[in-house]
Structure formats: structure tokens, C-alpha cells
Amino acid sequence: MLLQRTLSKSNKTDLYLDLVELASGLLLVGFLWTHMLFVATILISQETFNGLSEFLDKYYLSYIGIPFIIVVALFHFVIAGRRIPTRIQEQRIVWRHAKMLRHTDTWTWVFQAITGMAILVLASIHVWMVVTGWPIRDFTSAQRMESFWWFYLILLIVGEYHAGFGLYRQFVKWGWFPRKPIGYITKVITAIILVLGLAAMFVFVQLGGAL
């Protein structure tokens, strides 16, 4: 037995980190999917979209929600990011390993790490654009979409990918449900959200020209 280990027995840090990763991840998935559903209200009508946005503003939900989500996302980034190898040699090992193994779930994890990094950058830009262009109304969104549709396309795919497989992985790790069906369900939900997002984008881009 080593001194430092004897004295730090029953260290629960690793457990807490794991739980925070789980909780923050679940919150973020919940947020993202709700967010996309809200965005998709544009598919119903511009009034619905604006109405929802005004409603959120009126009760200060946006002003509480956005900073809260930013804090959660940062937490999630730091904590989930502890899994990502920091040393170049380790990264090379993982990369070679994934290439050798040709194993789906290993590759999805590698992309998960990459998309996580990408989301940090892209989502920051997105938040900055939204906040500087406040409030959120059909015409502000439409403008952004029209000018930066490629940016949003990337963010949408990257975000949904990360959320979908992140959720799948948590279910796998905690084993609440068998692996195969849960993989199927998360894929279906992700596909639905993606379709909604793409449709909303399409509408916004159309609107951007019209407004």
C-alpha cells in the first residue's frame, strides 16, 4: 500500500465526475432537443415562432436559460474532456487503435471527441451571434441562416451527432436498457431532430430572401 493512496482512500471524486458528466450531458441533450423543437416551430408559422420566443423573453426564461446552459456546457466540456488523451503519443495510439480495430463504437467515440471540440468553438460563435443580434425573432434568425447557412449546417450535424451518440453511450455505460434497441432508438430520434432542423433551416433560408 502506498502512503498517498492509503490517505486518499474512498476517494469519491471519480464517481462525482462521472455523475456530473452524466447529468450535464443529459441536461444538454434535453436542452438541444427542446431547442431544436422550438426552432422547428417556424415550420408551423412565423407567428408561432415569434410567439414562443416572446413568451420565453417575457418570463425571463431566455435570460436565465442561456447563461445556465453556457455554464453547464462548460462543465460538461471540462469533465467529459478529461477522457480525451492529452499527450500526443496517446492520441496517436488511440487513432491507430481505431483504425486497426474498425469497430463502430470506437470510431463514434473518436468522432464524439472531435465533435465535442468543434461544438465548443461553433456554439460559442453561435451564442455570440445570437446575443449580439438580440432578440430572437423570425427575421433575425432568417438573416443569420441566409448568410451563414453552411455554418449552421455544420453545427446542426455536429451537435446532433454528439448529443445522439452521447446519450447512447450513457445508456450503454449505465446499462438501463440493452444496447441494441437503445442504439436504434437514439438513432431514430437523432434522425427526426436532424430532419426537423434541416427543414427549419430551409424555411429560414427561404424567409431570409423574403424578409
Partner 1 sequence: MADRELTFEIFRYNPQKPEVKPYLQTYKLKETTGMTIFVALNQIREEQDPSLMFDFVCRAAICGSCAMVINGRPRLACKTLTKTLPARIKLFPLPVFKLIGDLSVDTGTWFRHMSLKTEAWVHTSKTFDPKAQEERMDNETALKIYEAERCIECGCCIAGCATANIRDEFLGAAGINRVARFMLDPRDERTPAEYFEVVGSEEGAFGCMGLMACDDNCPMELPLQMQLAFVRRKMASIGIGYKPGKGIKLA
**Residue among 47 and 105 whose Cβ is closer to partner 1:** 105
Cis peptide before 85 (omega within 30 of 0): no
The number of residues making up the chain comes to: 211
CB distance 80 to 21 below 8 Å: yes
Q: Which stretch binds partner 1 (CB under 8 A): 71-79, 94-102, 143-151, 186-194?
A: 94-102
Rounded CA separation 37/137 (Å):
15
Contacting residue, 27, 52, 157, 172, with partner 1 by CB under 8 A: 172
Taking the complex as a whole, how short is the minimal distance between the CB of residue 43 and partner 1, in angstroms?
Answer: 34
Residue pointed to by grid coordinates 463504437? 105
The SS3 call for residue 115 is helix
Taking the complex as a whole, how short is the minimal distance between the CB of residue 209 and partner 1, in angstroms?
Answer: 44
Q: Which stretch binds partner 1 (CB under 8 A): 35-43, 53-61, 62-70, 98-106?
A: 98-106
Taking the complex as a whole, how short is the minimal distance between the CB of residue 153 and partner 1, in angstroms?
Answer: 28
Contacting residue, 59, 83, 131, 184, with partner 1 by CB under 8 A: 83
* 74: contact with partner 1 by CB under 8 A: no
Grid coordinates given for 209 = 430572401
Grid coordinates given for 69 = 446552459
* 78: contact with partner 1 by CB under 8 A: no
Taking the complex as a whole, how short is the minimal distance between the CB of residue 23 and partner 1, in angstroms?
Answer: 12
Grid coordinates given for 174 = 449505465
Among 63, 61, 59, 74, CA closest to 28: 74
Largest CA distance in the chain: 72
Contacting residue, 97, 131, 135, 184, with partner 1 by CB under 8 A: 97
Count Cα atoms within 13 angstroms, Cβ side, for 66. Answer: 16
* 103: contact with partner 1 by CB under 8 A: yes
- Binding residues (CB under 8 A) for partner 1: these are 7-12, 14-15, 17-19, 83, 85, 90, 93-94, 97-98, 100-103, 105-106, 109, 169-170, 172-176, 179
